[in-house]
Amino acid sequence: MPHRYQPPFQISTTALNLVAQISELLGRWSVSADAALAPQLRRDNRIRTIQASLAIENNSLSLEQVTAVLDGKRVLGQPREIQEVRNAFVAYEHMADWQPGSRNDLLSAHGLLMAGLMDAPGRIRRGDVGIYRGDQLVHMAPPASRVGTLVDQLLGWLDRTDTHPLIASCVFHYEFEFIHPFADGNGRMGRLWQTLMLGRWQPMLAYLPVETVIRSQQQDYYAALAASDKASDATSFVEFMLRALHAAMTEAVLTGAPDQVSGKMSGKVSGKILAVVRSNPDITIPELAKLAGVSSRTIERNLQKLQGEGLLRRVGPAKGGHWELC
């Protein structure tokens, strides 16, 4: 009997706790499923996903510019960046047609995602590649002669594993980036395919913009990949991605939760606070109030609520300190 590939990873206590917390949040989110899956919100979240995933790959278009491109408006930007946006939208819209364990579907997805951006999109690489951060080589991918076999082994494991989908999708994401099966587009493909896997498990997760969290923690994302490379074990990356999923789910639940505070939807305000603090921990209460379109007192009440729920904490003194997600 041929050897069946088993990716190296451990299901840590941290991972199990995060899976339980994410599952609880998913249950809370699904209570308001009609609102969560409204067409406009699906589209808005999809646009956020695309903008953030491409920004990780140095696409400079803003969320407003990406929205304009997809609305068919003219945008001042590099033609390649505009093409990346159009390709990504088409690829994400085709997710319902693909099976996570299918090599043909994987190649078709890459073909859509990278059409017009590289030679021979949708084809396994035929040359050796290294991954650089600046001038530093941070990862030497397996030789081209092994890539096809490694991809088939990974897809075979994905088809037969009974590992919880939240963990399995993170393991796949890491292994995919380690193999680096394509000459270009591997990062955005890994994130797309994890979204596909999660959406197959729970359809609502196909519209969870976890990429926005990854973008705001980009250096930690790379550090988790490097740590797993060094350990020859995906556990560090699995834990990072589960934390990112937890943060994205928390924001989704808070944004969709109706709870009147001073005539405002406190869930939406809280979700806005978490999203802003993630990218700008030094922001002040008046600045938060201006961004959210509410009073400073409303912001203070929501900050107290988030701290009481263990989602946010203040580090340092009232003046000169900063906010931090828990």
pLDDT of residue 265: 47
Is position 3 within any domain? no
Is position 229 within any domain? yes
CA distances from 56 to 115, 142, 157, 214 (A): 19, 23, 28, 8
String of DSSP letters for 125-153: --S--EEEETTEEEEEPPPHHHHHHHHHH
Do residues 136 and 223 both lie within one domain? yes
Do residues 220 and 313 both lie within one domain? no
pLDDT of residue 129: 86
Q: Which two tokens stand for residue 16?
A: 């199990």
Which of 256, 281, 311 marks a domain boundary? Answer: 256
Do residues 169 and 209 both lie within one domain? yes
Do residues 227 and 264 both lie within one domain? no
- Please, which pLDDT band fits residue 32 given cuts at 50, 70 and 90? low
Q: For tokens 């993170």, name the residue.
A: 170
- Please, which pLDDT band fits residue 205 given cuts at 50, 70 and 90? very high
pLDDT of residue 259: 41
Do residues 55 and 70 both lie within one domain? yes
Least confident of 44-53, 179-188, 276-285: 276-285
Do residues 251 and 264 both lie within one domain? no
- Report pLDDT digits (tens) over 133-180: 778 887 888 999 999 999 999 999 999 999 999 999 999 999 999 999
Is position 2 within any domain? no
Q: Which residue has the higher pLDDT, 36 or 149?
A: 149
Do residues 187 and 293 both lie within one domain? no
Do residues 186 and 236 both lie within one domain? yes
Is position 4 within any domain? no
Mean pLDDT within 245-264: 65
Is position 16 within any domain? no
Which of 240, 256, 272 marks a domain boundary? Answer: 256
Residue numbers of the domain that contains 311 = 260-325
pLDDT of residue 261: 35
- Please, which pLDDT band fits residue 202 given cuts at 50, 70 and 90? very high
Is position 184 within any domain? yes
Do residues 197 and 274 both lie within one domain? no
Distance CA 157, CA 241 (A): 20
CB-based contacts of 170, cutoff 8 Å, min separation 6: 194, 234, 237, 238, 241, 242
Arithmetic mean of pLDDT over the chain: 87
Share of the chain above pLDDT 70, in %: 91
Q: Residue 161 maps to which CATH number?
A: 1.10.3290.10
Which of 224, 256, 288 marks a domain boundary? Answer: 256
Mean pLDDT within 109-131: 94
Residue type, 291: L
Q: In the chain, where does DSSP find H-type helix?
A: 13-31, 33-36, 39-56, 63-70, 79-93, 103-113, 144-160, 165-179, 186-201, 210-216, 218-231, 235-256, 266-279, 285-292, 296-308
Do residues 103 and 211 both lie within one domain? yes
pLDDT of residue 115: 97
pTM of model > 0.95: no
Do residues 155 and 53 both lie within one domain? yes
pLDDT of residue 279: 66
Q: Which residue has the higher pLDDT, 192 or 277?
A: 192
24-28, 222-226, 252-256 — most confident range:
222-226
Q: Residue 321 maps to which CATH number?
A: 1.10.10.10
In 3-state terms, what secondary structure has residue 313?
Answer: strand
Domain count, the chain: 2
- Report pLDDT digits (tens) over 40-81: 778 888 999 999 999 999 999 999 999 999 999 999 999 999
Do residues 178 and 315 both lie within one domain? no
Is position 9 within any domain? no
CA distances from 176 to 193, 275, 295 (A): 9, 28, 46
pLDDT of residue 189: 98
